[in-house]
Chain A
């Protein structure tokens, strides 16, 4: 398997995983807040739901961006490299922040996926010159 195909497949797998994670995040928003993080005053609970749903929508959006840039990465387009790199960088930053805050759970997967994607992108940047 050549390098470009491997990088594009990595992006596709990450995209699919993020779409699934985003859907789960959005669905979980409709559970009672007490089950998510414990008791919380009603004033904050409704706003917490919007932020929680917003993060789910963001994961979904990043996943779709990764899936849509799959073909571009496969055919060595520079724009696809830009998309994949920015997406991986955001995932790494958001995931690492989450790992520091929660120490476990989905942010660990987000950070791992970001780091997993960012290294081959940096290593093989010279291939993306179209």
Chain B
């Protein structure tokens, strides 16, 4: 599979993860409410992370079609991949029982490999 195709698919998965995160807000906090009382700051941070992942996925999808045109697109793409990797590592570190945490880390690792492979091929 070509790196560009992998990046395209992973960008769609990132957008899906962001949408799931946002859609899960009421469910997640209903689960929390059964044991602890969540405060408004936690809800805000939770929603912001969902929006951030959606933003990163949308930006990646837009960039995939332009990545070869200018170096700046590749740089921004690398920035978004680093952002996803940080979130993936953090999610796996704290949410050990959540399958979406492992999905986000797997997607981030796939993107790192695909971007590295793409930049290696195109800088020769």
Contacts and interface: CB of A to CB of B under 8 A. Distances in A.
Interface string B54-95: 011011001000100000110110011011001100110111
Contacts of A37: 39, 41-42
B55 A46 contact: no
Contacts of A41: 35-36
B42 to A, nearest CB: 5
Contact of A58 (B42, B49, B94): B49
The main secondary structure of chain B at its interface with chain A is helix
B48 A51 contact: yes
Contact of B94 (A38, A46, A94): A46
Given A44-B32, A71-B72, A61 B44 contact: no
Contact of B83 (A40, A50, A58, A86): A58
29 contacts: A37-B39, A37-B42, A38-B39, A40-B36, A43-B36, A44-B36, A47-B42, A49-B94, A50-B49, A51-B46, A51-B48, A51-B49, A54-B87, A55-B48, A57-B52, A58-B49, A58-B83, A60-B83, A61-B52, A61-B56, A61-B82, A61-B83, A68-B75, A68-B76, A82-B62, A83-B59, A86-B58, A97-B47, A101-B41
Interface of A: 36-38, 40-41, 43-44, 46-55, 57-58, 60-62, 64-65, 68-69, 71-72, 79, 82-83, 86, 90, 93-94, 97-98, 101-102
